[in-house]
Copies of this chain bind each other. A is one copy, B any other.
Amino acid sequence: MDSGKDGEDSSVTNPMLESKRTRSNNGKGKGKAIATEADPPAPSATLVTTKAYSPLTKGGGWKKGVAIIDFILRLGAIGATLGAAALMGNNEQVLPFFTQFLQFHAQWNDFPMFEFFVIANAAAGGYLILSLPLSIVCIVRPFAIGPRLLLMIIDTVMMALVVAAASSAATVVYLAHNGSQDANWIAVCQQFTGFCQVSSEAVVISFVAAISFACLILVSSLALKRK
């Protein structure tokens, strides 16, 4: 009886190991262990271990679903950031009339904010592509904390970058549309309508990317929490 007691104790002292074994064996090994042991208290104690860790085992499927949502959101955000960068980076307009000395020409790099916009969105898109393998790791191993925490921290920084880029570009677009009477700034969009149209579209797409980033952070925080 003493040796049987010892065997039971060692299985209880390492509950993490125990629950892992239970999952991998699909409960088959457990049934065998109960059958070989003739001592009555032994099965009850073994049962307890499984019970205490059942929320962890059940949470696996739920966490896998969250990880798949994370992956899909990332794909969408890649499209949005790279689309916004490409749209703004190819944005220029030449007006069909010109004087002897002057051609009316608007280009995206006339404004440093639009340059920042293109760089920030391209950087966010590049990061998102590089993050896809880590996101797949999170699908395969739903309980891994390290990769998810790393992704979440960089996601937060990138969200701040994309929001900053989008809102500074939005400010320029607003001023170009409406001008500012107090500062005596004219509304250049009255001439360059096409240029302003494309800029506005790029800004809207970039805000969509920012919302995707916010959802990514929310999803990661749900996946990080215990239970």
Contact = CB atoms under 8 A, between A and B. Distances in A.
Interface of A: 5, 9, 12-13, 15, 41, 44-45, 48, 51-52, 106, 110-113, 145, 149, 152-153, 156-157, 159-160, 163-168, 170-172, 174-176, 180, 182-186, 188, 210, 214, 217-218, 220-222, 224-227
Contacts of A175: 172, 175, 185
A180 B214 contact: no
Which 7 pairs of residues, A with B, have the shortest CB-CB distance? A110-B182, A164-B167, A171-B171, A168-B171, A185-B185, A167-B168, A226-B226
Given A45-B45, A110-B183, A183-B188, 17 more contacts: A9-B45, A12-B45, A13-B52, A111-B183, A113-B174, A153-B218, A156-B156, A159-B159, A163-B167, A164-B166, A165-B167, A168-B168, A171-B172, A172-B175, A175-B185, A185-B186, A220-B221
A156 B215 CA distance: 10
What number of copies of this chain does the assembly contain?
Answer: 2
A161 to B, nearest CB: 9
Contacts of A218: 153, 156
Contacts of A15: 52
A152 B218 CA distance: 8
Contacts of A13: 48, 51-52
A174 B210 contact: no
Contact of A159 (B145, B160, B186, B225): B160
A24 B152 CA distance: 35
23 contacts: A9-B44, A12-B45, A15-B52, A106-B182, A112-B174, A145-B226, A149-B225, A159-B159, A160-B214, A163-B164, A163-B167, A164-B164, A168-B168, A168-B170, A168-B171, A171-B172, A175-B185, A176-B183, A183-B185, A185-B185, A221-B221, A221-B224, A224-B225
A196 to B, nearest CB: 11
A136 B221 CA distance: 20
A192 to B, nearest CB: 9
A170 B41 CA distance: 71
A214 B48 contact: no
Contacts of A41: 5, 9
